[in-house]
Amino acid sequence: MAFGFITNIKNGFLAANEVRKIVLSDPQLFVYPILAVVLSIVAFLILGVGGLLILTVAQSVVLEVIALFVMYIAVVFITVYFLVAMLISFREFANKKPIKVGEALSRANQYLVPIFQWVIFISVIKILLDVIEMGISTLFSRFGIIGNIVSNLITGIASFALAVATLFAVPVIIDEKTGPFETIKRSTKFIIGNWGETFGGFVYTELLQVILSGIGAIFLLLSLISLVSVHTLTSTIGSAAGLIELVVGGVLLLVIFLLLAMSPIGSLILFVIVLIVGLSNGLNGGIAIFLAGIGVLLVILGHLLNYMMFNCFKLIVYDWKTKNTLPADFDKSVIDQAVKVNPKAQSSKSSGSGLFGNILGQN
């Protein structure tokens, strides 16, 4: 069993690497998540300001809560809508039938109703889950540390279960245009039958993000170091106490820095800081800004690739297990490995090499 799991991880890596090649060969795919982020920020600002105005003028907590819920719904809707458009575009590109962004968005408009239904459903579920988690935390907090551990374990399991159950929701919506209850039912059934077989590909996408974001964080760190005065550093190390403080404080700051720098928002904040300080520091400042620019681009690229590969990988897995279809031009070097097709899938033949049989169907 352990050997089979390791094999699935290995083949999942191979499959996800093929997805990476397709994603990187179509720069247009980057447009969808970028548009989603920009429009989400716009919606957040507009509806957020509207909510503050309601609170100021009407002074109604109920109306404020409603405004916040509408804002949340809008952001989630934008995210899911552009995800559907991206997957439609990816599927066509992978099958040698590329379409423009406008056409992909036009096709996504056909899913407005199921998308809206799903967004309302999942948003309400998540809010209810948050309320239940708060209640559980309050209930168990009276038991001290043990109570906090138990409550965190319960709420963590609940959040993980919801994430897993909805993992293939969007591919289901794209193919079936199902309502929310049927969508979560089919998504749950699919992941239960194929979890171990898809895990390796998900690990690959996460590792790629960590590597790119980590390199980006190193560039950001170098940019900050280049702004530090050598005199300040040597004077701090001048005494044993200063050296100890530097080492201990440096380790703590490094951990905090990495956590901040490896996130898109955190890296942008650090870039702005470097930019402000660097503009008044001559050559060192210019070098720092250059290094910080490279760093923030790598961090953002890592997160974009993770988002696109993660979702495109899910779509390919879903298509393979339900239709026996694959993108064209997959690496055929692994075709000789064991391939087991879902016997209940449609009889249509694969359009590709059969790569995903290596990770799917070791059942």
Question: In the predicted model, what is the mean pLDDT of the chain?
Answer: 77
Q: What 3-state DSSP class applies to 262?
A: coil
Q: Taking 90 as the threshold, does the pLDDT of residue 9 lie above it?
A: no
Condensed to tens digits (0 to 9), the pLDDT of residues 109-164 reads 999 999 999 999 999 998 888 888 778 777 777 777 777 777 778 777 878 888 88
Give 245-257 pLDDT, tens digit per residue.
555 556 666 777 7
- Helices 61-94 and 31-57, axial angle in degrees (round to 10): 170
CB 8 within 8 A of CB 199: yes
- Distance, CA of 299 to CA of 210 (rounded, Å): 9
pTM: 0.77
Work out whether the CA dihedral 75, 307, 24, 26 comes out positive or negative: negative
Rounded distance between C-alpha atoms, residue 32 and residue 28, angstroms:
8
End-to-end C-alpha distance for the chain, whole angstroms: 11
Tens-place pLDDT, residues 287-326: 888 999 999 999 999 999 889 988 988 888 888 778 877 7
Q: Return the minimum-mean-pLDDT range out of 56-60, 86-90, 237-241.
A: 237-241
Greater confidence (254 vs 260) lies with 260
DSSP conformation letters of 1-31: -HHHHHHHHHHHHHHHHHHHHHHHT-GGGGH
Structure tokens at 24: 């990187």
The predicted structure's pLDDT at residue 136: 77
- Residue 253, token pair as written in the block: 């700051």
Q: Tokens in use for 36? A: 């989603």
- pLDDT at residue number 229: 53
Give the phi and the psi of residue 345 in degrees, each rounded to 5. Answer: -70, 170
Phi-psi category of 274—alpha, beta or left, where left has phi over 0 and alpha has psi -120 to 50? alpha
**To 10 degrees, what angle do helices 31-57 and 101-108 make?**
50
Contact between residue 171 and residue 312 where contact means Cβ atoms under 8 Å apart: no
Burial 329-356 (b: 16+ CB within 10 A, else e): bbeeebeeeebebbeeeeeeebbbbbbb
- Local confidence band at 182 (pLDDT 50, 70, 90 cut-offs): very high
- Tokens at 310, concatenated: 């993660």
Do 335 and 352 contact (CB within 8 A), yes or no?
no
